[in-house]
A = this chain, B = another copy of it.
Amino acid sequence: VDEDRPDLGKMALRLARAVADEERPVLAREDLEMWDYVVLGALARAPAPTQGELARLTGRDPTRLIGHIDGLARRGLVERRPDPTDRRRRVVALTPDGLATFRRCRSGVRDLEEQLLADVPAPDRATFLRVLQQLHDDLDR
């Protein structure tokens, strides 16, 4: 067995950073930062959480999320309206333009991933992605 490999955490972090570095220019084409993409992605899956829930989902600080959403709303990518049933809450949702923007970004991201994994044989790639997703899903439970 190979005891001489780098730590799992080091390898995973290196990969994550490399992916993020390559994604940034793609997102910049839509004039988005990484946090924007994360927030739009969360809203694309769960239609309308509260701001606190959105902060928890994305891992972003609730207080910093405020100005963040302000910017996205000013650009017409998200919408923030008071919940009729509980007026303390501000329901945040994607606009059609926001959804389209997110889809363009994710498409570009997927292209990058394809490129990054190009040298990995198809069967290995499938196994790699399956195990990674299993670990990822298990961690969120």
Contacts and interface: CB of A to CB of B under 8 A. Distances in A.
Interface of A: 2-3, 5-16, 18-20, 23, 41, 106, 109-110, 113, 116-117, 119-120, 124-125, 127-136, 138-140
A133 B131 CA distance: 14
B131 A11 contact: no
A23 B18 CA distance: 22
A5 B128 contact: no
Nearest to A19: B9
A134 B14 CA distance: 12
Nearest to A20: B9
Contacts of A138: 119
Nearest to A128: B131
Contacts of A125: 131
A12 B7 contact: no
Contact of A116 (B8, B23, B129): B8
A42 to B, nearest CB: 10
A106 B128 CA distance: 24
Contacts of A3: 110
What 6 pairs between A and B have smallest CB-CB spacing? A9-B19, A12-B16, A13-B16, A128-B131, A11-B136, A12-B15
